[in-house]
Chains A and B, each alone.
Chain A
Amino acid sequence: MSKIAVIGGGIIGVATAYELAKLGEDVILFEKNYFGSGSTFRCATGIRAQFTDEANIRLMKHSVERWEGLEEELGSDIVFRQTGYLFLATSEEEVEAFKANIRLQNKFGVPTRLIDMDEAREIVPILNTEPFLAGAWNPKDGKANPFKTLFAYLFRARELGVDARGHTEVIGFERAGDAITAVKFRSNGKVESVRVDAVLNAANAWAPLINEMAGLSRGLVPITAYKHQLVKTEPLEPGQVEPLVCPPSWNDAYIIQDGEDGGIICGAGIEHKARSLEDYEPTYDFLRGVLEYAVRIAPPLRYAHVVRQWAGFYAKTPDSNPAIGKLLENFYIAAGFSGHGFMMAPAVAQAMAELISKGRSRVPLDWEWYDPYRFERGELRSSAFQIG
Chain B
Amino acid sequence: MSGKKIVCRCNDVTVEDVEALIDSGVTDIEELKRLLRIGMGPCQGRTCIPIVLSILARKTGRRQEEIPLPRARVPIRPVRVEVIVGGADE
Report if A and B associate in a common complex: yes
Chain A interface (Cβ < 8 Å from any Cβ of B): 34-37, 41, 147-148, 151, 155, 158, 166-167, 233-235, 260-261, 282, 287-288, 291-292, 294-295, 301-310
> Assuming the A-B contacts A151-B26, A309-B74, A310-B73, are A301 and B37 also in contact, with contact meaning beta carbons closer than 8 angstroms in the complex?
no
Q: Report Cα–Cα, A35/B32, bound state, in Å.
A: 11
* Contact residue among B26, B34, B44, B86 (Cβ-Cβ distance under 8 Å from A307): B44
Residue of A nearest to B30 (CB): A34
> Assuming the A-B contacts A34-B28, A308-B73, are A234 and B84 also in contact, with contact meaning beta carbons closer than 8 angstroms in the complex?
no
> Assuming the A-B contacts A34-B28, A288-B84, are A306 and B75 also in contact, with contact meaning beta carbons closer than 8 angstroms in the complex?
yes
* Contact residue among A35, A155, A295 (Cβ-Cβ distance under 8 Å from B85): A295
Q: Report Cα–Cα, A278/B79, bound state, in Å.
A: 27
> Assuming the A-B contacts A235-B41, A309-B75, are A302 and B31 also in contact, with contact meaning beta carbons closer than 8 angstroms in the complex?
no
Q: Which 4 A-B pairs have the closest CB atoms?
A: A305-B78, A302-B82, A147-B34, A308-B73
A-B contact count (CB 8 A): 88
Nearest-neighbour CB distance to chain B for A292, whole angstroms, equals 5
B87 within 8 A of A: yes
Residue of B nearest to A309 (CB): B74
* Contact residue among A35, A41, A303 (Cβ-Cβ distance under 8 Å from B81): A303
> Assuming the A-B contacts A287-B84, A292-B85, A295-B85, are A305 and B79 also in contact, with contact meaning beta carbons closer than 8 angstroms in the complex?
yes
A-B residue pairs in contact (CB < 8 Å), sample of 5:
A158-B25, A295-B81, A302-B88, A308-B74, A309-B73
Contacting pair B81 A301 (CB below 8 A): yes
Query: Which residues of B lie under 8 Å from residue A35 when comparing CB positions?
Result: 28, 31
Query: Which residues of B lie under 8 Å from residue A234 when comparing CB positions?
Result: 41-42, 78
B4 within 8 A of A: no
Chain B interface (Cβ < 8 Å from any Cβ of A): 10-11, 24-26, 28, 30-31, 34-35, 37, 40-42, 44, 73-75, 78-82, 84-88
Contacting pair B44 A308 (CB below 8 A): yes
Nearest-neighbour CB distance to chain A for B30, whole angstroms, equals 5
Nearest-neighbour CB distance to chain B for A64, whole angstroms, equals 24
Contacting pair B34 A41 (CB below 8 A): yes
Contacting pair B37 A305 (CB below 8 A): no
Query: Which residues of A lie under 8 Å from residue B37 when comparing CB positions?
Result: 260-261
Q: Report Cα–Cα, A35/B35, bound state, in Å.
A: 12
Query: Which residues of B lie under 8 Å from residue A261 when comparing CB positions?
Result: 11, 37, 40-41
Nearest-neighbour CB distance to chain A for B23, whole angstroms, equals 13
Nearest-neighbour CB distance to chain A for B87, whole angstroms, equals 7
Query: Which residues of A lie under 8 Å from residue B34 when comparing CB positions?
Result: 36, 41, 147
Contacting pair A304 B31 (CB below 8 A): no
Q: Report Cα–Cα, A174/B87, bound state, in Å.
A: 60
Contacting pair A306 B81 (CB below 8 A): yes
Q: Report Cα–Cα, A337/B66, bound state, in Å.
A: 34
Contacting pair A34 B42 (CB below 8 A): no
* Contact residue among B35, B40, B73, B87 (Cβ-Cβ distance under 8 Å from A151): B35
Query: Which residues of A lie under 8 Å from residue B24 when comparing CB positions?
Result: 155
Residue of B nearest to A298 (CB): B81
* Contact residue among B11, B25, B81 (Cβ-Cβ distance under 8 Å from A302): B81
Nearest-neighbour CB distance to chain B for A374, whole angstroms, equals 35
Contacting pair A295 B82 (CB below 8 A): yes
Residue of B nearest to A264 (CB): B81
Query: Which residues of A lie under 8 Å from residue B73 when comparing CB positions?
Result: 282, 308-310
Contacting pair B85 A304 (CB below 8 A): no
Q: Report Cα–Cα, A287/B73, bound state, in Å.
A: 12
Q: Report Cα–Cα, A310/B34, bound state, in Å.
A: 14
> Assuming the A-B contacts A166-B28, A305-B79, A308-B74, are A288 and B85 also in contact, with contact meaning beta carbons closer than 8 angstroms in the complex?
yes
Residue of A nearest to B76 (CB): A308
Q: Report Cα–Cα, A129/B31, bound state, in Å.
A: 39
Q: Report Cα–Cα, A303/B88, bound state, in Å.
A: 9
Contacting pair B35 A147 (CB below 8 A): yes
* Contact residue among A36, A295, A308 (Cβ-Cβ distance under 8 Å from B31): A36
